[in-house]
Structures are given as structure tokens and as C-alpha cells.
Chains A and B, each alone.
Chain A
Amino acid sequence: MKLIFDYTQSNTKHTPSQEKDVDLPEDLKRRSLPLCDVNEIQIIRHYTELSRKNYGIDTNFYPLGSCTMKYNPRVNEDLAKLPGFSDLHPHMPASHVQGALQVIWELEENLKEITGMDAFSLQPSAGSQCELLGVMIAKKYFAEKNESRTKIIIPDSAHGTNPATAAMCKFQTVTIPTDDRGNMDIDEFKKVIGKDVAVVMITNPNTLGLYEENLSEIKDLAKENGALMYCDGANMNALLGISKPADQGFDMMHLNLHKTFSTPHGGGGPGGGALGVRSFLEDYLPVPRIKKENEQFVFDYNKEKSVGKLHSFYGNFGIIVRALSYLKSWGSDIQKVSQIAVLNANYLFSLLKEDFDVPYDRRCAHEFVISAKNFGEKSTINIAKRIIDYGFHAPTIYFPLIVKEALMIEPTETESKDTLDEFAKVLKTIIKELREDPELIKNAPHTTPGRLDEVKAARQLNLRWMPKES
């Protein structure tokens, strides 16, 4: 394999040469710069070759549960790259960036309408930073009320970010088990809900792809005890235009713009986060807030209760442009997204039910979880690797942690019936192979690099290229 550091060529020179050295004291100056020069054509070939070793939604079906890998409309890329946006310096005064502020304001307004929340901040860079912001707001809110609350209640099906966020802010996580219908166990919840609970953090639909059936009772108990209800909106793709989290009783929620609102995942980011709150928490949102005054958009830094700032500027603006564009293209038809996302998940679930163990046999939301435990230990990883041989990306595996040998499948609304049929057929074929030729599956994938040794990677760390002699 060749790394970019393995070439030594003549430089293409993208900017004018500047031979004159800088006039700095020697003790501040760099002595050597251990980089290589590579000509443009070689760079194009190197990275084009690497792109061909990578798998995206554009390549084929990518049913990674909890990640909402839907089609990313290309026009949104063009719009985010319009020079009026991409070339805009963030320190420019409000009077000269009215269009950009309108983009932020309009997205906030649309998200308010979709979720029922009263105010949004688009500063967070991703869902986990939204959670951090939400928990910081809760902490400040209760501190100002002189209430000492030390606990955050989280179901055991939750994403790892939920307990990690609670711990960052020095809250104690109380984990509630899941009942046999896949809901947060209401009896266990009743045992721990009390005046020492700051936040009840719930993903709805939950990570099992199931609508939380006890939500109304949970909300009532939380409110009785003065705790805040936080919705992890990672699964909002099930609810667009159908039900508003604020109406479900949530005081705060976050949206992942890169999931629900189709901004490209980019190999792991950038994402975009949006934290929505009810009006009594609005003043805690980060500054600046963007306000509309007499048809002009202005920055409002004057918020005494604000928790501060999460971003140097106004959030991942390029992602905000894409999300607004996506929302405007669906407009008032947005509920179709969720209806078909739920249809696709239930359809694929129906096709696979007979072949796999089904931990919770209920109608699912936009995703579902099945288990390969009946095929023996480690069959999920083997199935996932074999799926790659058939040209699809694997689902999320071994999550949620409470389901043994879990496969978490989220088809999204942009996949056709044919694709789902094809994927179900592939899974059925793999199960047959598992029985007839287990070695074939254990050594998969066969069409890409072989199975990579993660133990060796962690024990014999090789995390960077080193110059040959230095």
C-alpha cells in the first residue's frame, strides 16, 4: 500500500512562489518541515483510488441503524457552496450577512414547527454536543432554583453518549432496564423518580426502533417531581409531521441535522446539531441568539442566563444551509418521509422475522432490531462481514447492548421496494450459507481486504507515518 508520504515529485505550485525568508528570531523559527511535494495528477489518482475502497450511500444500500443513511440530495451541496455562503467571513457585521442570518432563522422556525419546541439553537456541532448543552442548561436551571438534583435517568437501551454526557457534567446516571415489550420499565422508573432527579433522558422511538409506550405516564411522574424531560431526537425520522415531541411532554430535544435532514455524513462528520427547548428554558440557550427586528436580522448577546457558547461562531453553517434546503424541498409534505421510513422498516422487518430471533415482536418505527443469537456466538459479526461481499453496507451490530447478537437495521425512506427485497434475499442466503458452509462466513469478506486484526491494531499501536530519517 502506498501512503501520500511515499511520493517525491515536483510541486504543482498553486500559489505564487515566495522565496524570501521570514525575519523572525532564530529561537522561534522552524528548522525543518518534513513534508513531501507531490504533483497534482498523482494526488488525484491516489485519492480517487482510495475513494474506490470506500462505501457510501451513493454506492448502495447502507442500512446502518440509528444513523439514518438516507439519500443526500446533490443540489444541497451546490447551494451550500454558493459563494455568498462559502466565502462569507464569520466576523462580518450583521448588516452585511442578512441572507446568512435568515437561513439560520428560517431553519430554527421550521424546526420549531416540526417539533413543537419554542426556541432552537443551531450552535452545537452534532448530537452529542446538543446533549451536553441540554444537560448544562438543566444544571444551570436547577442551580438557579436552588434545587440540588444529582441524577439523570436513562434507559439501558440508550446511546452511549447519554450516560457519557451525564457523567461529564457530574451527574449520576441511573439506568432503567427495558421491559419485555421493549419499553423503559415503568415500575423500575417509579422506584427511582424523585426530587433528586434533574433530567429524564429518553430516545423516542427508542434505539430498539419502538415507540415508548409508557411515555405519557413517565412524563407525568417526571413533571410531578420537577424533573426535566429530554428527548434524544436521533430517531426523529419516524415522527416528522406525525407527532411533535413537545406535545409528547418533552421540555428539551435535539435533532441531528445529518440524520433526519439528510446532510451528508462525510465519512463521520461534519454533523449538525439543533437543540430545541420550551420557552421557560429559552434564555439559557447559547449566545448570540438571532432575532428578527423590523425585518432585519440581528445578533442578541444580551442574555444573562445563557450558559455561554459552544462554538466560536454560529454553528456548522454549511450544514444549516443544506438542512434548510432539504426542508424547503419537502415543505408541507414532510410527513411522507416518516410514513415511508416506517413502512420500509416494517416491510423489511416482516421479510426477516421468520429467519431471525425477534427480541420484541411489535410493529416497529423507522428501524428494527433482530438477533442472530440462534446461529451461535459471533454470528452477527460474521453475517455483517458477509453482507459486504454482496455489495451492501452492514447494519449497526451489537447495539443496543441489551440485545444479544443484535443487528439494528434502518432502511430509511429513500430505498425502493426492490432494494429491500434484494437485501432480505441476501440475508436469507447468508443464513443458508451459515448452515452449509460456516467457514465461508467466518472468513468473510472475500471481495475486499480480509478481516482486519483489531487486536493487533490496539496492542501494537501504529497511529502515524514516520519520516524515514529524522
Chain B
Amino acid sequence: MAEKKFTKEHEWIEKSDQIIIVGITEFAQDQLGDIVSIELPQVASSFKQNDVMAIIDSVKASSDIYCPVDGEIIEINEKLLEHPELINQSPYEEGWIVKIKPNNPEQIDSLLSKEQYDELVGQSKE
């Protein structure tokens, strides 16, 4: 399993072969609280880095999920439509959100490492 990368928007990215898997972090799910629904993008749609690709709603908040890199959506986690709570229960496993085929794989390298992300989260907790 490749090492995860992170964004400052609290998404995690995992690279496997030519695709990446994207979800939100433990910290993000905790901040959002009980997630009640998700709007997923269409398979085969394309996004630029930092475009809004999905929306997660909890009871009292609605949050954009940004595309971490330029790329095309090749798979969405349809289970989340029926069971959005999977994001709360298992943000890194069953709660993954989309799989993307990146256009510029080098963009992934410039994302945050685990250490950098932990530092960021540490700051925002204060």
C-alpha cells in the first residue's frame, strides 16, 4: 500500500497503479460530525485541481470536497449514497469517495506528507 498524501482541505490521496483514491481525513469527518448525505460527481467527468467535485452534508453543515489533482473520475463509491455514515465510521477504508485518473501525476508529489498534514491539523486544533 502506497503512502498517503494529504491536502490542506483535509482530503487524503492514495496512489495505486495509474489511479488515485480520494477520501476525507479522520480529522475532517470528526469536525463535520454525523454525515447525512453526499453528492458525488458523475463517472467520466473531469476536474481541475481544487475544483469542487463533491458535497458532503452533515446535519448543520455542508462542505465542498475539492479535486486534489487534475483528472477524470473513473469510479465513485456508490455505497455512500445509501450509507453516508461510512465516511464517519471508516474514513480511510470503506468511506473512500472517488477514484481518479490523474492527468499530471507529478501534482501528487507536491501534496502534503503525513507529517506536514499532522502539523497543519495540530495548528488548526488550537
Contacts and interface: CB of A to CB of B under 8 A. Distances in A.
In-complex A–B contact (CB below 8 Å): yes
A415 B24 CA distance: 48
A459 B85 CA distance: 9
A44 interface: no
A459 B60 contact: no
B59 interface: yes
B31 to A, nearest CB: 11
A455 B60 contact: no
A398 interface: yes
A398 B85 contact: no
Interface string A385-413: 00000000000001000000000000000
B95 interface: no
A454 B85 CA distance: 14
A455 B58 CA distance: 8
Interface in B24-83: 34, 36-37, 57, 59-60
Contact of A398 (B36, B60, B84): B60
Interface string B87-124: 00000000000000000000000000000000000000
Interface residues of A, number: 5
A385 to B, nearest CB: 15
**Majority SS of interface residues in chain A?**
helix
A22 interface: no
A456 to B, nearest CB: 9
A458 interface: yes
Interface residues of B, number: 8
Contacts of A458: 36-37, 57, 59
Contacts of B57: 458
Contacts of A398: 60
Interface in A154-202: none
A445 B57 CA distance: 26
A398 B37 CA distance: 21
Interface string B8-31: 000000000000000000000000
Contacts of B59: 454-455, 458
B61 to A, nearest CB: 10
Contacts of B85: 459
Interface in A439-470: 454-455, 458-459
Nearest to B57: A458
Contacts of B84: 459
Interface string A271-282: 000000000000
A148 B61 CA distance: 33
A173 to B, nearest CB: 14
A458 B60 CA distance: 11
B8 to A, nearest CB: 19
A458 B37 CA distance: 8
B27 to A, nearest CB: 15
A458 to B, nearest CB: 4
A459 B58 CA distance: 10
A285 B60 CA distance: 36
Contacts of B34: 455, 459
A133 B115 CA distance: 50
A455 B88 CA distance: 12
Nearest to A381: B60
A454 B33 CA distance: 12
B18 to A, nearest CB: 35
B37 to A, nearest CB: 7
B73 to A, nearest CB: 24
A258 B73 CA distance: 48
Nearest to B83: A459
A267 to B, nearest CB: 21
A459 B59 CA distance: 10
Contacts of B60: 398
A160 to B, nearest CB: 11
A56 B34 CA distance: 31
Contacts of B37: 458
Nearest to A458: B36
Nearest to A459: B36
9 contacts: A455-B34, A455-B59, A458-B36, A458-B37, A458-B59, A459-B34, A459-B36, A459-B84, A459-B85
Given A458-B36, A458-B59, 11 more contacts: A398-B60, A454-B59, A455-B34, A455-B36, A455-B59, A458-B37, A458-B57, A459-B34, A459-B36, A459-B84, A459-B85
Closest 4 CB pairs of A and B: A458-B36, A455-B34, A454-B59, A459-B36
